[in-house]
Amino acid sequence: MPCNEALQLQAYFDGELDAAAALGVERHLESCADCAALLADLEHARKLVRASAAYHRADDGLRQRIVDQIGRERSDGRKSVLWFAPDHRFLSGLGSGAAATALAAVIVYFLAAPPAPNAPLTTDLVNAHLRSLMSDHLYDVASSDRHTVKPWFAGHTDVSPPAPDFSAQGFRLVGGRADYVDGRRAAVTVYRHGRHVINVFAWAADAESPPQAATRNGYHVRCWNGGDLVFCAVSDTSESELQDLMHLIRNTKA
């Protein structure tokens, strides 16, 4: 049975220990044959991988295609889609029960009512918020760790907002998802605040600025600029709570 210091030894081998801990391991090695053998195995495996395993390099064709592709990227990454596109997830999320029926009634109201003048973006934000609550689709990635959510954005959406967790202040990060708002692909950071869900939509700033604050049927929307991004927080929680979350996000170093 190998010495139970094995993981510590591995950490030493990988240069992860501070000087004091490394010294401790080296002293231990002087009298532990199992660890000395394990260290030799680790060294052998490393030499083998670095000398003989394939390290694949991008060929010139791929490199050129990539450079060309970047060259073709437009500064405006907008995509035109229906502003409300019901899909099977939305329908299957209706389920049964009073809450679902009540929310369904609200959705129908929004579908029937014409968009408020000069506020298609606000309408769309609230609709997107409701869609997320109705369906099983509140988040694509579930995590309270910004180090999981933020890179997920980088792989799935056009922008990668910071996604910090503020559990200590009452705003718990629950995950992230990709969504569409008014023709733009948005990265959405999802928070829970007590019984309330807050969706924070983010997209690259462009010619259209959303109104700083708005309300649609009891749902509050608060928008702000941060760096190159526009942020819009939507929730049925109070306006002052939304403002608190806005300040927390704005004051975070990305």
Partner 1 sequence: MDEKRRRFEAQALPHLDAAYNLARWLVRPPLEADDIVQEAILRAFRAFDSLRGEDVKPWLLSIVRNCFLTAAAKSKDKLHVPIPVDEQIGADPALVAGEIDPESALIEAERGHALNAVIASLPQEFRETLILREMEDLSYREIADITGVPIGTVMSRLARARALLKERCHFAVEARTHAVQ
Nearest distance in Å: CB 150, partner 1: 8
Nearest distance in Å: CB 107, partner 1: 29
Nearest distance in Å: CB 135, partner 1: 18
Q: Which two tokens stand for residue 165?
A: 């967790």
Nearest distance in Å: CB 166, partner 1: 19
Instruction: Write out the residues near partner 1 by the rule CB under 8 A.
Output: 6-7, 10-11, 14, 16, 41-42, 44-46, 48-50, 52-58, 62-63, 65-67, 69-71, 73-75, 77, 143, 145, 147-148, 151-162, 204, 227-229, 253-254
Rounded to whole angstroms, the Cα distance separating 186 from 229 reads 10
Nearest distance in Å: CB 28, partner 1: 17
Nearest distance in Å: CB 248, partner 1: 17
Nearer to partner 1, 195 or 253 (CB): 253
How many C-beta atoms surround the C-beta of residue 247 within 10 A? 12
Nearer to partner 1, 33 or 105 (CB): 33
Nearest of 100, 96, 126 to residue 111 by alpha carbon: 126
Question: Position of tokens 């950490």?
Answer: 11
Nearer to partner 1, 66 or 91 (CB): 66
Nearer to partner 1, 44 or 250 (CB): 44
Nearer to partner 1, 48 or 113 (CB): 48
Nearer to partner 1, 23 or 45 (CB): 45
Nearest of 182, 199, 78 to residue 133 by alpha carbon: 199
Nearest distance in Å: CB 183, partner 1: 16
Pair 121, 208: CB distance under 8 Å: yes
Nearer to partner 1, 77 or 211 (CB): 77
